[in-house]
Structure 1
Amino acid sequence: MSNSQMILVAGPYRSGTGDDPAKLAANMRAMNETALTLFRAGHLPVTGEALALPLLEVAGSARIGDRVYDEIFHPIAEQLLSRCDAVLRIGGPSEGADRMVAQARAEGKAVYAGLAEVPPA
């Protein structure tokens, strides 16, 4: 029997970036690199950003923090987390990532503070 988990990778996206596209991309890359490590370990990693960002584009979001962004960005991550087994919190300060951790705890899901805490698949 597999112990593979669907794990939401939660880390800073906007925090500390001033919405600088290069810094946003670096934060996204950090989450994606972590997700790749989880995938190669036999888990199913997901990020809210991977679902939200394409939807924001087609929904016509003009800038981070606009009405369309607020409609989609965090709500999709919250819905996604409800389907996950766990959260892996990475990176530095992030209100959104901390909200994901709080939601996971409230829903009785596992919360990992680093890759080393994630059990083998």
Structure 2
Amino acid sequence: MLILIAGPYRSGTNDDPAKMAANLRTLEAPSFALFKAGHVPMIGEWVALPVWAAAGGETVGDDLYEQIFHPVAHRLLALCEGVLRLPGASKGADNDVRIARERGIPVWFDLKDVPGVA
């Protein structure tokens, strides 16, 4: 399955690049376990960050950022077959969960609950 990993990226960072990078590493942490289980992990920022940079994005939270970041996750959810919601406050991740549930896409809150993960 293509599984979106959702959780805090920008939330709680005050747009500090080091804190955002740490949050991205946290999002990436379960990716190998998902891969070993036969899934393809996906994180919205893996797509949004290079798109934003290619579009000339400069400041986190600018209009261009807002035009790209959340819409990327929504488009990915049209392709994903599951969502792994990691802990932590995140309006974006909560919205991903809402959309997934509306579309009938399974949502897991613990890596161990994802099919095939030991």
**2:5 matches 1:6:** no
Amino acid at match of 1:24: M
Alignment match of 2:65 (pick from 62, 69, 93): 69
Q: Segments of 4+ in structure 1 off by > 4 A? A: none
Match of 1:43 among 39, 46, 54: 39
Matched, 1:27 2:23: yes
- Asked whether 1:82 is paired with 2:69, we answer no
- CA separation in 2, counterparts of 1:64 and 1:102? 24
Q: Distance in 2 between matches of 1:19 and 1:70?
A: 14
Identity of aligned residues (%): 50
Match of 2:93 in 1: 97
For residue 120 of structure 1, what is the aligned residue in structure 2? 116
* AA matched with 2:53: E
Q: Give the Cα–Cα distance (whole angstroms) in 1 for the partners of residues 28 and 79 of structure 2.
A: 19
- Structure 2, unpaired ranges of 5+: none
Work out the CA distance in 2 between the residues paired with 1:95 and 1:59: 24
Structure-1 separation of matches of 2:38 and 2:83: 15
Normalising by structure 2, we get a TM-score of: 0.95
Q: Which runs of 5+ in 1 are unaligned?
A: none
In the comparison of the two structures, how many residue pairs are matched? 117
Helix, strand or coil: the match of 2:5?
Answer: strand
TM-score by length of 1: 0.93
